[in-house]
């Protein structure tokens, strides 16, 4: 299933604390759209849906709906900060193609080249 780095988990904790939602979670999902077929989405969530997959790491809960789960299998969320930008990035071994903006991706039935994609 989906995993999260320690740095990304710390950033999620910070965001939840700023929202006064320490018991909340990060919902990660995939939606149709973008120029490559799929795009990532993330939102802070207070409630877990009955059919959600729940992953916990270092006190951070990740929620994934059943439709998104196969597309996020083996993916890892990281938080990147550098002089040009900062934000969450998803490394998804299922993604074989992405658009120039990096927030849209596509998959293939056969194994392809894994790529990292930024979420804005």
Q: Where are the domains of the chain?
A: 3-118
Average pLDDT on 20-34 reads 87
pLDDT band at 27 (very low <50, low <70, confident <90, very high): very high
pTM of the model: 0.78
CATH number given to 3-118: 2.60.300.12
d(CA 80, CA 21): 23
Whether the CB-CB separation of 31 and 38 falls below 8 Å is answered with yes
Does pLDDT of 46 surpass 80?
yes
Q: How far is CA 116 from the centre of its chain?
A: 11
Residue 28, CA distances (Å) to 82, 99, 101, 111, 112 in order:
23, 20, 19, 23, 23
């Amino acid at each position: 299933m989906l995993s999260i780095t320690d740095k990304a988990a710390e950033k999620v904790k910070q965001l939840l604390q700023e929202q006064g939602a320490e018991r909340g979670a990060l919902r990660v999902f995939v939606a149709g759209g973008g120029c490559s077929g799929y795009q990532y989405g993330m939102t802070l969530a207070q409630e877990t849906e009955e059919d959600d997959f729940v992953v916990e790491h270092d006190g951070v809960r990740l929620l994934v709906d059943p439709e998104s789960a196969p597309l996020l299998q083996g993916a890892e969320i990281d938080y990147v900060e550098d002089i040009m930008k900062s934000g969450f990035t998803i490394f998804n071994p299922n993604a074989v193609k992405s658009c120039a903006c990096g927030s849209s991706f596509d998959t293939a039935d056969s194994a392809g080249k894994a790529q990292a994609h930024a979420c804005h």
